Amino acid sequence: MQLGALLTRLSDENDAAVALDALGDVVLLAQIQEMGAQHDETPGEYVANASRRYAARAGDEDWLALMTAIERAELGSRERRGPRSDDERRLLMRGRGLR
């Protein structure tokens, strides 16, 4: 799936909730539930709004980091199925505004 299509799909709260559930990362889910509660949003709404914020506000360096993380994840998924890399965690934290 292309990045633009992914961001478009994530901007829909139902699709975002399905994607979040499919990750199977209970720690990430708990963090997103907590952040969503602070903003009076469901997890799906929070992910959808976070993807919109990222698309609207990310600078060139952020986009480069995202593309690098996606490429590494694609390569790594063929080789391993383990914990997230530091780069992936850093991008997730940025997306949640937790730099």
Tens of pLDDT, residues 27-65: 888 999 999 999 999 888 888 888 888 889 999 999 888
Contact 45/86 with Cβ under 8 angstroms?
Answer: no
Percentage of residues of the chain with pLDDT beyond 90: 14
CA separation, residue 21 to residues 14, 62, 75, 84, 99 (Å): 11, 25, 22, 16, 23
Write down the domain spans for the chain. Answer: 3-95
Give residue 60's pLDDT: 92
Give residue 40's pLDDT: 94
